[in-house]
Structure 1
Amino acid sequence: MIPLKLKLTNFLSYHSAEVDFAGIKLACLCGENGAGKSALLAGMTWALWGKARDKVSDDELIASGAQEMAVDFEFGLGDHLYRVLRQRSKMKGGESRLIFQVCQTDTGIWMPLNEPSIRGTQHRIDETLRMDYDTFINSAFLLQGRADEFARKAPGDRKKVLAEILGLSYYDRLEVKAKGKRQEVENKLRDIDNLLTMLQHQIAELPAQRRLARETGDMVLALDQQLEAQVTVVEQLAARASRLEALHDESVKLEQRITQATDERQTAENALHKAQADIARHTALLAKRDEVERGFADLLATRNLLEAMNTRLSQYHTLSGRKTAAEGEIKMGRTDLEHRLDKVQTRIREVEAMSSRVAEYEAELERQRSLLAGFELTEQQAEAARQRIEDYKRLISNLEVDNERLNAEMKSLRDRLTMLKKSDHQRCPVCDSELGEGGYARIEQHYIADGTERKEQVARNQRRVDELRLMLGQAETDLIKLNRQLDGRINAEKQETRAADRLSDAQKAGEQLADLRQQLADLLAQLDANAYAPKARQELASVQQEIAALGYDESAHEELRRRNRELADFERRERELREAQSRLLLAEQAATHAQATRNDKTAIIEQYQAHYDQLAAQLEGYDELRRQLDDARGKKAVIEQQRGDALRQQTEAEQRVRQLQDNERERDDKVEERKLAADDKGIYDELVQAFGRKGVQAMIIDSALPELEENANELLGRMTDGRMTVRLETQRPTSKGDSTVETLDLKIADGGGYRSYELYSGGEAFRINFAVRVAMSKLLAHRAGARLQTLIIDEGFGTLDGNGRERLIQAIRAVQSDFECILVITHIDELKDEFPYRLEVTKGQDGSHVELMTG
């Protein structure tokens, strides 16, 4: 991976910056502390892996005052050009976007490599680079203050990092696949074993099932013989019963006919009794003809009289309604007159009360007018106070404006005095004229005197402003008090208006009193003379005359109603009398017919009964024969059920025998299949061990360690004059000393034997870290697939003296040919000139900026 172009937007201290790395092989990033040097490289890692600084969220990376950020990074890898654009927004609860593209060599068009999700796209970037963030910062990127990132890890973690650099994750994936295949085979073996156990358990039933099939077959043969004998018995009994069946059916039909004839004879008997009762009733009714006819005639006469009386009653009700209406109108006229009388009397009392308070209202009006006269003086005082406040504010404003002018003039004088002091005292710095002898002193004294005069005037103005502010405060206090006093004026004006209205109403009331008293006298005279509702009184007199002329008698009317109720039954009796003669003839005919029918049915019943008795004698023993036949059929059904059960058991047993025989053949097949699966498991066991950490991976690490040690010691020797060397140990004895464990320890020799890395610090520790990390970067740069080819060193010189820094620069130049791009961050000025390219980073009010410089 070779950086080519980096564009930052609102990322950390960069609001907008773009760096073109094309053609840069060795360069330093320089600038003051905090200028944004490390932020530039953090942009690369955030674009590639979404990580920039530990324990810092994406939203915290957004520049202050911005809502979103973006990093656009282009890099070369092999023969291809790639681009990663990562964006982050605080809006909508936080939203991220990641774009991964590759450039077509022939067209220059960017083609998308995105997956459906950000996680999927990130995984594709990792696969393209053949490394993740942790591998990058443990090898090719020496982070600020974390040059010992690799060395301070636990031995096991160091070995994982080295394995990642060597691309051993490929073997991890192979190991996982081999374990998966082995697990599939193990699952298959377990399934086969479970199936064999089940089959063996089932096959053990085979002898018992064969025995059961034979026994049930014998039972079926025996039941067939029993069934054949019972069928013969049933057929013999059924033949005997069929011969008596016709006689039995005939006897049942005859019994039904006897029952029907008996019911019909009883119906005729009932009809005869009813006809005889009707004859007696109709004969008795015809005997009372004269009585019924006289009563019916009286009923008709009474009803005629009652109808005439009902007509008079209807007329009487109409006249009574008119009378009630006239009386109601008369009553309403009197009520209305009395209501008008009450209103006039009430108004007279009100007017008398109001006219009696004229003097009181005149005094109240005079008192309110006196109060309003007092408010006029207070209003004049308030207006004067407001005018004073305006005057004081205007004076204060004028004085403050004057002070601003004086202060500006004093500043101008100070600036001229400063220019004068910095001049050569021969020419005026303002007008460029010759000062002459004593001219400098004279002008200086003139500037000082003018400044003093303006300063004193400013002081005088300020004292006058302070005095005016005190006076302004007093005037504002006075105005507040006066306004509070004036708050009662509105209420006084309302009271004055109210008093004037009351006085006017009382005076008008006195003028109305005589007229109201005359109205009262007129109304009382009308009430005494009943001079109201004249039309209603005329209607009432007319209605009373008509009622008298009608002559309606309520008691006579009630007597006719009672007489009508007493004679009402003669209407029914007269109707029955008219019907009795014809119904008597019909009843006599019905009696004759019913008697003849009763006699006929009696003869038929006697004939049916005699024939039924003959059949009963012939059917003697029929019921016992039916019972025997039912018993024989029941026994036959039981034998058939037993035979069906035995046959079903025989069939099930024979099917089970065939199934178990199939299980025997399946067992033999599974035994052979298990042998093949066990052979496959042995192969996968060997592959898992071969692809594991102790197999091929351990061999590759062991083969790579000599190259890593050689490169590290070459650099370390240059930086220490051959005084220090490093050794990487992959195994060490256990605490008991009876075996070894896998590890990756750093042992350092400095002339006094080998010691652990942890015993070194400061400049020595940095030299060791630098040598090991650069050696790992070289290893990563030449690794098939990864091709990082970039080395980044962030602030690694602070712990070194001048000689150490010189040796470190020499070491960097020595490995320059192994990398396509080396970037070194430093804030030490004397190191800048050691690099052919410099990226100068500065920070201002609008954020950080970067500028490429050469030489």
Structure 2
Amino acid sequence: MRLHSMTVTAFGPYPGGTRIDFDELTSAGLFLLHGATGAGKTSVLDAVCYALYGGVPGARQGMRLRSDHADPYEPTEVVLELTVGGRRLEITRRPEQPRPKKGRAGSTTDKALTLLRERAGGEWKALSRSHREIGDEIKLALGMSREQFCQVVMLPQGEFARFLRSDAADRAALLGKLFDTGRFEAVEQWLAGRRRTAEAAIRAQDEALVAVAHRMAQAAGPIAASHPMPELTAGETELTDTVTLWADATRAEAAERRDVAAVELTAAEAAHRAAGHALETSRQTAALQQRHAAARTRDEELEAARGEFDQHVRRLERAAAADRVAPALHARDRAAQDQARAARRRAETTAPLPPDLTGAGADDLTGRERQIRQDLGRLDAARRAEQRAAAIVADRARLEREAAADDELERDTGGWLTTWDQRRDTCRARLDTAQEAATAAEALAARLETALRRRDAARRCENLDAQEREAAEALLAARTAAAGAHEHWLALKERRLRSVAAELAATLATGTDCPVCGSADHPRPARPGDDHVDGAAEEAALAAHRRAETDRGRAETALLTLRDRLAAARADAGDGTSVQLAADVDALTTQEATARRTAGDVHPAREELRRAEAEYTGRLDTQRETQKRQAARASQREALDTELDGLRAQLAEAGGGDGGIAERADRLERRARLLAEAAEAARTLADAEMRLTDAEAQLADAARSAGFDHPQQAAEALLTTDERADLQRRVETHRDKRAAVQAELTDHQVREAAAAPPADPEAARRAMEAATTALRTASAAADTWTDRDTQLARLAREAARQTQDLAPLREEHARLRRLSHLASGTSAENELRMRLESYVLAARLEQVAAAASVRLRRMSSGRYTLAHTDARASGRTRSGLGLRVVDAWTGTERDTATLSGGETFSASLALALGLADVVTDEAGAVRLDTLFIDEGFGSLDDQTLDEVLDVLDSLRERDRAVGIVSHVADLRARIPAQLEVVKGRTGSFVRHRVPAPARHAATGAGGHRVGGQP
């Protein structure tokens, strides 16, 4: 990697665009970066690191990147051009940063920006704008992380001095970051994790085996007393053998007890069967004896009820004879009922008739009915004429009512139509007024909007006028304060320059050289006067000046912003004042509201006109229909009058008495109907009397045939259905009981049981219960020992399977435990107690020490070399990262902490350069053509300084350029190529000082500014 050029803008102490030409500086191979304290030397290195990785070195993470001296509108930016891996690249980076809004108050935030370009074929080609893609591309091209880059390219001497004196843990932390040995630590952790996993698996298996043993102890039950389970602990190597031996003994005794219980169960089953047979026999004998006794008792009861049984049988026999007479009885009763009903009907129908017809026969009544019917036939025509006359009178009345209603409707319609023209004109005028108001409202709304905008702008003008005056006063005060602070700072600086001799004299000591004249004698050192000013006072005045300038810039920005806003508001407001414009707004608001209220009547007015026109059309139609109905009604009245006169003449000829024809016809119709009903009732009565006489004769014959002297006896012997069913059930029940008793008494089993001694089922039951209890006990014991034996066999198989699974787990755990302890340095086999990562880092440290010794030998005139040692450390300290210094003058090795200050610097510089070589090779042999060494040269004497510079100059043999960052004055005379950083009141800038043969044409003479602002 070789740096070509870098441009920084508004970065750190550099306010403007500052360009650094590394090609010009590194042409001599060695260049010096120097300047006053706080000028910004380290910021150059920060800019390089930020351009490559988007961040500054770790010790300065979180620092503010943006320059406090930069213009607010100037963005912070770093552009770096370099060659890496044969590719010419340009990286541009901008951090996220605030920026004032253009033409407005306040600020906005610009997002971070990253650009990557590559030069190919004489032209720059854009590669990416993605932060992540560019970061991955740069890291891949350089082959190292930011931490490695800062440690290898920007060699921090203070850290390597601490590295020389640090212990193994601190060295491991640094080397682990540089050589990325985290994977070896991950291997250690992985082995430790596998070891713990294996231990957990074995413990889980042991605990499972112990759990199985406890379950076997529970399953063994009483056996556990004679074969107690031994003490079992998870993790014991003899655990499996102990469990296996105890399980075998327990299973053997369980099987023996199972066989004994089976024999006892067989004997109990035989005794239970015998007791059951005896109990069944006793119960059967007792039941037969009870049946015989009960049958004898029922037989005696039936014999006592024999008389009642014979009476029921006789009564059923007479009822059967009476059943043959029952149809004749029913026929006689029906005939008597019909004759009584006919007599009552005859009396009811003859009651309304004249007395002379009360006793008349059916034929006389029928003749009188025919005469009346003939009279009714002659009255039908007259009755129809009378009905038609009544209908005509009703129609005539209806026509008169309709004529009166139409006359009223015609008068109302005619009156409304006479006012139609006036009504139509009124509606049209209302609609026109509302439409004109709607048009006027739209125009007034536009005028009102303009007036509101002008009024608001006028009010803003008034507010902004006051703010502008206040801002102008604030700016004047800020300018006055800034000028005063500036003058105060310049005055303090001038006073300090006058008394700088006193400051230098304060640093003098007897026997030391004067930094001005070089003399070791100090006869009259300067003394501070009354107006002496120290550096702290000057710095405080400078800080106050910068704050005042910042306040002045803010006041100027605020005033410009207010003036822009005021100009815009005046352009909107025009010439009127806010009071006048507010009055115009009020007037227009009132007018616009009035017009909109009037315009709201457009729709109601249009609807009213539409309804009026519809009503006008309807009333015209009504008037024409009314006139048509009146003409038709006159013709209809004339026709009805003519027909009515003819009907009245016909009715006068027919007559009809006082009530009229209809009343006379109704009276004759009722008389004819009464005569017809009386004739029918007379005929029905004659038929009923004849049927009653026949039924009584048939009943007397049927009673004599059935054996009854009189029909009344047969009627008394009849039974109802329920009575007959009850007697029949009683007779059949008696017969069934008698048959059942005889069958029971004649059964041979019952007779034999009755002859035998009385049975005792209770004694047999007690014997059966005792046998059942014994059988249950034996069966439970057999089931229990069978279950125990089965469970023990299953658990023994499970224990055997777990024992087989444990063997490979124990072998794997032993192997992992040995490897893990070896890798972590805790095994006895690891004599140096060196971790795996430390072992790898020790090899790297050995390479670094060898590479550093080559340069340290030259820096120390062949006296010192560095040697790596893996000697075992004392106590609990890890081994493998020891570092010793070999003194060729004494031939001894000693601790690096015994080196002096200058020797420590030389050793740490040699170590840093050696580490850079090794890390470069580790990163993939990426060439690092540009290195920076930061501070540390002030501790060297002249001879050592020459030797160190010779070593650094020899780096050119590998085509490297080395930049030394230091403020040591002697280096300015020894290193011709220089980059000076000069700090000023408005920020820092750089000067390139390059020997004439190497100076570029664009660079001015020594002391000229290149980039930045004075």
TM-score, normalisation: structure 1: 0.43
TM-score, normalisation: structure 2: 0.37
